[in-house]
Amino acid sequence: LEILLAEHSGFCFGVKRAIQMAKDASHQNQPIYTIGPLIHNPQMVNDLKEQGILLAEHPEALHDATVIVRSHGISKAEREMLVKNSNRIIDATCPYVCKAQDFVKLLCLEGYAVIIMGDKTHPEVTAMLSYCDENTSVVSNADELPEQTWNKLGVISQTTKNMAALRDLVQKLVPNVKELRLFNTICSATTLRQEATTALAKKSDLMVIIGGHNSSNTRMLAALCAGITETLHVETAVEIGLEQVSAKHSIGLTAGASTPDYLIVDVYNRINELTGDRTSVKSVEDIPVNKEESC
């Protein structure tokens, strides 16, 4: 049995940065709050809780506290509420997410109707929407586009969406729009992870996707793999049973942008243990990586 890890897996730049900022702030010896989970990984959120970084679902409950803004950002109203209640804000919004928010503001300011390709309820999208006017709509793919025409239309994407889906959407729009302005806000970390995962899935009997069930980019990796080979999406190693990994010759591993390294290591060791291989690694750097990216 060969187990390989996709070349680009696990924490992206924006998530690493948010966690580092939260950990630095936690040295202040007072509770630190995040509005919603700092990143979409329940295990990591629990680890942070033990370090005094607590989850606050509603910003109105916070007064005179230290608050970290998650990598996906928060809405305009949430930010205003935090400021009004004299909270100290540490802004860990990913710079790529900030850029997408800036583009959306610009499009609205310049009179474009706006279509956001994304998940309506994802915090990154709800934050973006808070900077838009009523001429903005959210669709998850080209099939959800309304049957209408536009004079001026701007298109933007949630940072973790798929490039092929954005291409389809734009293609479908072209005949119906006089002036179409696209900001390609899909982040390079997302594209690299999707390409590396697809390449590995093509040569694997089974792909194990590690990451939060609430993580949009992890679910996207799972959806891509499911179209290619047998796929299993797990948050932790204990979810993997012998029946899923026995009789396989090649297993590929990949992890979403908010999955910590130790969960990847646990999964690798678990599969080896279940299949009777005594090899066990301590760090993600010790897991063999699939270097060939062919797509």
Residues facing 91 on adjacent strands: 69
Question: Which is nearer to ligand SF4, 222 or 251 (by Cβ)?
Answer: 222
Shortest distance in whole angstroms from residue 93 CB to ligand SF4: 9
Shortest distance in whole angstroms from residue 292 CB to ligand SF4: 23
- Please indicate whether residue 124 is annotated as part of the active site: yes
């949630």: which residue's tokens?
A: 158
The answer to whether the CB of 237 falls within 8 A of the CB of 249 is no
Please report whether residue 160 would count as binding ligand SF4 according to CB under 6 A: yes
Please report whether residue 92 would count as binding ligand SF4 according to CB under 6 A: no
- Spatial distance between the Cα atoms of 8 and 201, rounded to a whole number of angstroms: 13
Give the closest residue to 30 by CA, choosing from 100, 94, 91, 90.
90
Give the closest residue to 230 by CA, choosing from 246, 206, 250, 210.
206
| Residue window 130-159: x/- pattern of binding to ligand SF4, with contact defined by CB under 6 A | -----------------------------x
Please report whether residue 112 would count as binding ligand SF4 according to CB under 6 A: no
Q: DSSP class of residue 61?
A: G
* Tokens representing residue 122 in the block: 């994802």
Residues facing 177 on adjacent strands: 150
Please report whether residue 97 would count as binding ligand SF4 according to CB under 6 A: yes
Catalytic residue among 78, 124, 195, 235: 124
Shortest distance in whole angstroms from residue 237 CB to ligand SF4: 24
- Could you tell me how many residues of this chain bind ligand SF4 (CB under 6 A)? 15
Q: DSSP class of residue 121?
A: T
| Residue window 167-206: x/- pattern of binding to ligand SF4, with contact defined by CB under 6 A | --------------------x-xx----------------
Edge-to-edge strands, sheet with 53-56: 53-56, 32-35, 66-69, 88-91
Residues with catalytic roles: 124
- Can you give the binding site for ligand SF4, defined by CB under 6 A? 12-15, 71, 94, 96-97, 159-160, 187, 189-190, 217, 257
